[in-house]
Structure 1
Amino acid sequence: MKYGIILGLLTTAVGIANAQEKNLAINNLTQVKVNAATPVKSQGETGTCWAFSTTSLVESEALRKGIPALDISEMYTARNIYIEKAKNYVHRQGKAQFDEGGLGHDVIRAMANYGIVPESVYSGMLPGDTIHNHSKMVKEMKAYLDTLLAHTPISSDWETGFTAILDKYMGRPPANFQYNGKNYTPVTYAKDVVKFNPNDYVFLTSFTHHPFYQSFIVEVPDNFSNGAYFNVPLDELTGITNKALEKGYTVLWDADVSNKGFSYRSGFAVFPKDTSIKKDKLNASTVEAPYSQELRQQLYESLTTQDDHLMHITGIEKTPEGKIFYRVKNSWGNSGPFGGYWQASEAYFAINTITIIVPKAALDKGFEKKYNL
């Protein structure tokens, strides 16, 4: 995704919790359901929000199942996806996107294919690094691939040179490692410790240029691997999200955060009726415009709604009038008025969502039958 911001860990855990409660009270929001989540991290100067947010979803699912809190390496997944992107770029003879972005399904697929490692085993940073920063690495990798493609036939061992660049900037991941006194590979750690199963997750979206109740490849630039998402009407997409959260599950959220209603400073994302309101004035009381499936589609078709950023929805809050806000875990460090979290209204979600990932177990049985899952 496009958004990689350097935001350090600014407050202690107690300070963060107190700040969240204080700001919720000021904005007259009541926590309806707050589900378990691991601590907020920072993606630093990278476009790897897709890895951080989806990893957070998997960590929350482990917590929900009673597994002790995990700290999974986002960069092990990101590294494997960089290699997949390079292969795709070469096979398509440079006529494809090669960048830092990705989607949530890339993480689920990578965990299934390559396994999972703890952050303590592979951080993706070298000694002396204080933040993740892939800007130089991606430029070097892209230049390497373009040089390779300029002279055909290409060498059969080109991947060796490519992975050497990854090793140079991110370090080499281990083939096996010790964790809590036992030896694991990434695959056995995923299976035995995380209890990860890729079939536990459902990929959903809502657009009218494809039939409902069928899957289609979502047309956004970062979907380099042609991931398919099941298409449902908008009211079902929001309903699934609300019910999942109320049942104790969490939701991966891919959305636009560049539109006028998203405010970093206030910590709110709303769909304001008055678009002249300054962003730092947006809050839970902001009057919102009506939304619809048709308007959502129009904004997507006009490229107003784009595939900007992936985050992790962990709970629901409500105003005294019953207006729904989602508690959204971000990956920009413990910053902002809610300690690294956002409050996104249901209206903002409805208009600006690109895709979501929901644990399959969160779906009602009727939904499972309708989706033929």
Structure 2
Amino acid sequence: MSRTESRRVTQRQIAQLAGVSQATVSLVLNNRTGGDIRIPDETRERVLRVIEETKYVADPSARRLAGVDNRILGVFTYEPAFPTRSLDFYTPLLNGIEAGAEELGSDLLLFTSTPVVDGRRRLFHERNRLRLADGVLLLGVEMDPNELARLVIEGFRVVAVGRRDTPAIPYVGIDYTAATAQVVGRALALGHRRVLYLRLDSDGESVRDRYQGVLNATSATDVVLADRLSDGSDLEADWREITTFAPTLVIAESPEVAQSLHDRAVHEGYDVPRDLSIIALGSSPRVSPDDVSFTRLNPPRTELGQRAVHLLARLLSDDDYPSADELRTLLPCPIIDGATLSAPTQEARP
């Protein structure tokens, strides 16, 4: 079946497949409960399961609902993009998005009117203005899978920045699983056998992909692996874990956590990397020549932003619509050798 012959999934089709009314599908998509509205959990789960399993090929003509080639690309972030703590994550992404939009001669529209519910931004609400843009880029470590499914069903042109599990959502992501397994494998080849992994408390796909990379590298080995949730807010607890577990290698998902632990280790008289090696599964764009050169992943976030813009432009194109394989792609993640990984000088420092 060609692209032009494919039909987009509708709420009516979802209702038929799930054996419910179209009104029930709408209520589930809008996450409405309370008052006289009562949807059994089994029914809700059945509707969501059908949504997850439904395959979809976008019809580019639907974009004309947005205003016939306004050349406006929307940007929606599930987390605030501009607070200081978010700058390292979002700045290179936004730089790449801006550069990509300039190349295409398009304007960017940042959606900021979305309400915050239970501490998270909601994409759909009564003042929804998504249709003002021809297409929308979605940013965030965690995205609501129900909202992503609704975007698919309602025919929005969207591209997620980062890998997503939700079926039929186009994305450009980074292959964190392969890169993490590779850098951890280098450490194991040097002789590290006691490894502490400090990971973020998140169910985002990129976080899970890094964790899977650690597991892939250490499974079927004699490595003793311990892991702990850490966002850097409790350095004392992180350090107690190091002194108690006595690893020769610490893997820190957050570059900020890696920096804090490096400084503490040096203060305590550790030689980094001989007494304690440290790997960071990320990289700060604000690295200066005087900063510690961590052995680390260096996610190509600027390229990620540019590639996502170009994929969105192709979704809006009648002449250059991407193939199925091009709708969901992963970019390789470079590894910086750095100076914080070496063979351990002893099995573990007491």
What is the TM-score when the length of structure 1 is the normalising length? 0.23
RCO higher in 1 or 2 (8 Å CA, sep ≥ 6)?
Answer: 1
Larger Cα-atom Rg: 2
What is the TM-score when the length of structure 2 is the normalising length? 0.24
